[in-house]
Amino acid sequence: MSWIEEFLGIKYTDLNQFLLRIGTNILAAIIIVIIGFWLSKMISKGMSRILRKSSTDEGLITFSTSFVSLVLKILVIVTAITQLGIEMTSFVAILGAAGLAIGMAFSGTLSNFAGGIMILVLKPFKVGDTVLIQTQKGVVREIQIFNTYIHTADNKVVVLPNGPVANGTIINYTRETKRRVEWTISVNYGEDFDHIKQTIRGILASENRILKDKDNFIGIASLNASGMDVTIWAWTSTTDFSAVQHDINEHIYKSFKVNGIQFPSSQS
């Protein structure tokens, strides 16, 4: 081993102790990261269970748990770096020197974090609401610290950054308990409009999901080359909106056929 001592200029025993110390520190840092990440995951899950038992808002639960998980992981990484023998004062000095570049790089991330807080405070929507945000329509499943997760009707997951979400236009379809359903039906010229109105009123009256404490509306919306467009407005509960819209379409088609009311034929 004399050639090693001559080449490196240190004794073999000192080199062996140095490598052993470095290896021990690296192994300890790896163990800290593994155990620390596992503990952060368990703490986040435990926090989520406790909050759900206390009937806390689902959006606040997902936001808080993801935030706590992130903070705990940062603490684990800092502890692992300290275990490697890196002075945190030097580490902080390096971060401070690169602060401007980091700030510019993470400006969007910080904006998303602030947007998440605004969403939780102002509550334009909550988990479970059906919304339209940035042309994306679906059910809100999670509100995390940086992103909001929406599931579309065809089961796609859309991840939206919280910054643009909080500062953009939001349409919440399920915030109110009642919604107005609208239909536009085209019929031939020459049909008796009073007969059409009577037929439609009968359909609406027979549908239990149509709210009787709200006034319905039936009127001629426009006169086209091939026929007239009849507009129908009725009110139903938000949960029944889609089903009522489709079912009334079916009832109108069948009732018009039975009552001899003709739809316009296609014009060449």
What is the distance between the alpha carbons of residues 163 and 183, in angstroms, rounded to a whole number?
A: 36
Most confident of 21-25, 108-112, 243-247: 243-247
Q: Give me the pLDDT at residue 268, please.
A: 45
* Same domain, yes or no: 93 and 68: yes
Q: Which domain holds residue 215?
A: 178-258
Assigned domain for 103 exists: no
What Å distances lie between residue 104 and 67, 71, 121, 195, 221, CA to CA? 21, 21, 26, 68, 54
What Å distances lie between residue 246 and 189, 222, 253, CA to CA? 25, 23, 11
* Same domain, yes or no: 227 and 241: yes
Number of domains in the chain: 3
- CATH number, domain with residue 241: 3.30.70.100
Identify which has the larger pLDDT, 140 or 30: 140
- What amino acid is encoded at 130 in this protein? T
Strand partners, 232: 183, 218
- Average pLDDT estimate for 224-244: 93
Assigned domain for 102 exists: no
- Average pLDDT estimate for 160-189: 93
- CATH number, domain with residue 32: 1.10.287.1260
List of residues 6+ apart from 209 with CB closer than 8 A: 236, 237, 240, 243, 244
Could you tell me the pTM of the whole model? 0.61
- Average pLDDT estimate for 8-19: 59
Last residue of a domain, which of 172, 199, 219? 172
* Same domain, yes or no: 120 and 89: no
What is the distance between the alpha carbons of residues 183 and 165, in angstroms, rounded to a whole number?
A: 31
Identify which has the larger pLDDT, 267 or 126: 126
* Number of residues written out for the chain: 268
- Average pLDDT estimate for 80-93: 67
* Same domain, yes or no: 168 and 182: no
- Average pLDDT estimate for 23-40: 85
pLDDT, the chain, mean: 83
Q: How confident is the model at residue 209 (pLDDT cuts 50, 70, 90)?
A: very high
Q: Which of 203, 66, 219 is nearest to 143 (CA)?
A: 66
Q: Give me the pLDDT at residue 10, please.
A: 58
Helix (H, G, I), strand (E, B) or coil at 253: helix
Most confident of 31-45, 72-86, 234-248: 234-248
Q: Give me the pLDDT at residue 13, please.
A: 64
- CATH number, domain with residue 117: 2.30.30.60
- The string over 233-251, giving b where at least 16 C-beta atoms fall within 10 Å of a residue's C-beta and e elsewhere, is ebbbeeebbeebeeebeeb
* Same domain, yes or no: 144 and 185: no
* Same domain, yes or no: 120 and 151: yes
List of residues 6+ apart from 251 with CB closer than 8 A: 203, 206, 207
131 exposure class (CB count in 10 Å sphere: 0-12, 13-18, 19+)? buried
Q: Give me the pLDDT at residue 93, please.
A: 59
Q: Give me the pLDDT at residue 245, please.
A: 95
Last residue of a domain, which of 154, 172, 190? 172
* Same domain, yes or no: 88 and 130: no
Identify which has the larger pLDDT, 94 or 114: 114
* Same domain, yes or no: 143 and 197: no
pLDDT tens profile 112-148:
888 888 898 888 999 999 999 999 999 999 998 889 9
Cα dihedral: 55, 60, 63, 67 (round 10):
-80
What is the distance between the alpha carbons of residues 179 and 175, in angstroms, rounded to a whole number?
A: 10
Assigned domain for 41 exists: yes
Q: How many CA atoms lie within 13 A of 81 on its CB side?
A: 13
Q: Give me the pLDDT at residue 190, please.
A: 87
Q: Which of 193, 267, 205, 199 is nearest to 234 (CA)?
A: 205
Assigned domain for 268 exists: no
* Same domain, yes or no: 116 and 197: no
